[in-house]
Amino acid sequence: MPSPYRAIFATPGSLGFSAAGLLGRMPLSMLGIGIMTMVSELTGRYGLAGTLTATLALSAAVLGPQVSRLVDRHGQRRVLRPATLVTLAAVTGLLVCAQQGAPDWTLFAFTALAGCAPSVGAMTRARWAALLEGSPRELHTAYSVESIIDEVCFIFGPIISIGLSTLWFPEAGPLLAAGFLLVGVWWLTAQRATEPKPHPASHYTGGSALRSPGLQVLVAAFVATGVIFGAVDVVTVAFAEETGHKAAASWVLAVYALGSCLAGAVFGLLHLKGEPARRWVLGVCAMAVSMIPLQLAGSLPLLAVALFVAGLAIAPTMVTTMALVEAHVPRSKLTEGMSWTGTGLAVGVALGSSAAGWVVDAQGAAAGYAVPGVAGVFAAVVAFLGYRRLRRPVPMREGQREQRDQDPEQREQPVA
């Protein structure tokens, strides 16, 4: 393992909570696609399956930040375990109702309740932020690790979920996703030594983390980014089906995630200087430009190459986003702030999946890639307009002040 990664995992407890975070994050890529596959297998109603998936995404967008806000105030263990049990009960109810052919409204009710699943990625990133406070270089590498883990989940999660539900029994994909959530959250919350200290209500002032102008820019851009992800998934499946190789869609999408994974691994080795806000704008613009070749791909091999190249811009942009959230959101609201970016993605994925489906139905799969193209342009516009907000100085935390005093390169920088 390259030395920067070896260095951060030498920190006591880091390997344990990172491994638990990997398991706990698998449902992020497995549950939605598992519900879609299960319902389509049991009923043959793709419209119902897609609407249920969008319901899960929107429910997570509403409930996820609220769960994270409670975590900031009361601690991870006290909040995550009850939230996980509610999610497991909801998934169980959904599986039973789907298998028994219950009325549609029961499926929507249980799917909406399952949206309270905790954002495990935000929890592990919050642990890294607490563990490496005052060490920006190491934190950059840690956020790169988290981005790699995200991509690993998105590479293997859909393949496992779809494979189990189609080759074993329809409920197998969502069932295994629930099992991953249970094991991951219980393992994570059992590690008390690295759990960030909660901030009681008396210290949790100023309302939601979303009141931060910088975070508003990041979330708005992430909505557009989510549209890209959701649309690319739907259109790629439709494109593969039109070419007569629908089963290859999951592998083509895995190549997309692989590009991001490799870029994240390299990005974590770099010690970059300059403004994170500028790097973030460049990353968003790179994602927008990478959507252009998708409009020109006329075969699955060419599409796979185009998606691999497009994936190279994802992880570095995500890593920089988390660094900006950590800089613009008070420590007492950090978990909530990180969850809001996930909320933006979830809303965007739901919108992108729906919009892409309409375009594919009306104009065909090739025309569907216009949806992520337009979303990329919108994300770039938001990034340019919000650049000044992201450059505004923010209060320096105590750990950062101590690091600045010890580092000659940072000592010349002004304190906000």
Q: What is the mean pLDDT of the chain?
A: 80
**Distance (Å, rounded) from C-alpha 181 to C-alpha 177?**
6
Angle at the Cα of 318 from the Cα atoms of 160 and 346, rounded to 5 degrees: 60
Give the pLDDT of residue 400: 42
**Distance (Å, rounded) from C-alpha 111 to C-alpha 350?**
14
- At residue 202 the predicted structure's pLDDT band, cuts being 50, 70 and 90, is very low
Please check the confidence at residue 402 and state whether its pLDDT lies above 70: no
Give the pLDDT of residue 87: 93
Instruction: Indicate the CATH number for domain 210-395.
Output: 1.20.1250.20
Q: What is the C-alpha radius of gyration for the chain, rounded to an integer number of angstroms? A: 21
Regarding predicted confidence, which is higher, 409 or 216? Answer: 216
Q: Which of 404, 134, 145 is nearest to 267 (CA)?
A: 145
Give the pLDDT of residue 399: 39
DSSP string, 187-243: HHHH--TTPPPP--GGG--SS-GGGSHHHHHHHHHHHHHHHHHHHHHHHHHHHHHHT
Mean pLDDT of the region 23-51: 80
CB atoms within 10 A of CB 301: 11
**Alpha-carbon torsion 400, 405, 410, 414, what sign?**
positive
Please check the confidence at residue 405 and state whether its pLDDT lies above 60: no
Mean pLDDT of the region 110-131: 86
Give the pLDDT of residue 296: 84
Mean pLDDT of the region 101-117: 90
Give the pLDDT of residue 201: 58
Please check the confidence at residue 126 and state whether its pLDDT lies above 50: yes
Please check the confidence at residue 410 and state whether its pLDDT lies above 50: no
Please check the confidence at residue 17 and state whether its pLDDT lies above 50: yes
Q: What's the pLDDT tens digit per position in 204-260?
A: 455 667 677 778 888 899 899 888 887 887 788 778 878 887 767 778 888 888 888
The three-state secondary structure class of 173 is helix
Q: What's the pLDDT tens digit per position in 346-399?
A: 778 777 877 887 788 778 878 888 999 999 999 999 999 888 887 764 544 433
Q: What's the pLDDT tens digit per position in 263-307?
A: 888 887 777 676 788 888 999 999 999 999 988 877 888 988 999
pTM above 0.75?
no
Please check the confidence at residue 193 and state whether its pLDDT lies above 80: yes
Please check the confidence at residue 91 and state whether its pLDDT lies above 90: yes
Give residue for tokens 């790169």.
144
Please check the confidence at residue 102 and state whether its pLDDT lies above 70: yes
